[in-house]
Amino acid sequence: MSNRALVVELTPEERKALEALANSRTAPFRQVQRARLILLAAGGATNTQISQEVDLSRSMVARWRERFVRHRLDGLTDQPRPGRPRVYAEADRLRVVEAACNGRPPDSTQWSVRSLAKATGGGRDTVHKILREHKLKPHRIGTFSHSPDPDFVAKVVDVVGLYLDPPQNAVVVCVDEKTQVQALDRRQPLLPMRPGQIERRTHDYKRNGTVQLFAALEVHAGRVIPRIEDRHRSREFLAFMNHLLQAYPSGEIHVILDNVITHRSKEVQAWHAKHQRVVFHFLPTYSSWLNLIEVLFSLVEANVIRRGVFPSKDDLVEKILAYIDRFNHEGRPFRWTKTADQILRSLSKLTRH
């Protein structure tokens, strides 16, 4: 076999057939995988790129590419195998796949091998094998978030551009609030960890009040400017923005923030009109993962709040600010690496249904 990848060219009919197969939810997984493979090859992708995309070895990609060039669509089907033929037909396979993907058991929210076998009339071992062959896992569920923002693409390009190519002589900050941070105290002392025994604490607790953590992360310096408030309203947000202006007395400030009402109220709009050197860059809706300040908040949650014991609200505030002070002292900025194009491709692949 030549080390040089064969050029794949498709007729309109072949492309239509391959696209239908690649988007099928009932066809065998291997056929869907091969259809995607050929479409990527026709698009000019290398064998290495295709291998990463369809989760096949590079040698297998080259083999299926060659078989398609030699035999066209017929080359993508499996050759007859020696030995005893399987005891279930293709119709049985499709029935199991269709039920698993598009149906629900009458008395449960998810399929089990037993209930799927009963519903399709197959044996449990056969159904289990079909599920494994098609990489179907009815017992598992994932989550995703799809933004309905009509300006989603433009906002992603704008925000990622600030991360990767910031404007000269300007500061880029990510702003947000971690709200309702509770000062929880345990009613009895913790029992420390010891050999063979994890740390333990009582399940009941005492609430000693809540605080709101306002913070701005200077993206390219790794510096955090915090402010603690008792409430979370537009006036507290504007107090924080005035605090931010004092921290950066000159030059443009590009502020990345989300779409909560406290950032868009009439009071905030009036304040913004008076401070032209502050430029707001709003994230797309349901896209807080684009805001780097969320990384800081996750660190505060993990290292200060989650297992913390706070006898008072002042103690909670002191520990949060001490952690942020240490973070600033270390001076380790978060590095954004993905381009806007890579993000949009990833999201398109995630919701390919």
Q: What is the pLDDT of residues 219-253, one digit of tens each?
A: 999 999 999 999 999 999 999 999 999 999 999 99
Summarize the confidence of residues 23-32 as an average pLDDT: 85
| Residue 142, Ramachandran bin (φ over 0: left; ψ between -120 and 50: alpha; else beta) | beta
3-state DSSP assignment of residue 324: helix
* Mean of pLDDT over the chain: 89
28 or 320, greater pLDDT: 320
Of the pLDDT bands very low, low, confident and very high (cuts 50, 70, 90), residue 349 is low
- 80 — alpha (psi -120 to 50), left (phi > 0) or beta? beta
How far is it, in rounded angstroms, from Cα 5 to Cα 351? Answer: 30
Q: How far apart are CA 309 and CA 206, in angstroms?
A: 10
The tokens describing 146, both together, are 């799809």
What pLDDT sits at residue 1? 45
257-292: pLDDT as tens digits = 999 999 999 999 999 999 999 999 999 999 999 999
Mean pLDDT calculated for residue range 77-96:
74
Cα 249 from chain centroid (whole Å)? 36
Beta-bridge mates of residue 278: 253
Instruction: Tell the residue number behind the tokens 């502050």, with chain if given.
Output: 278
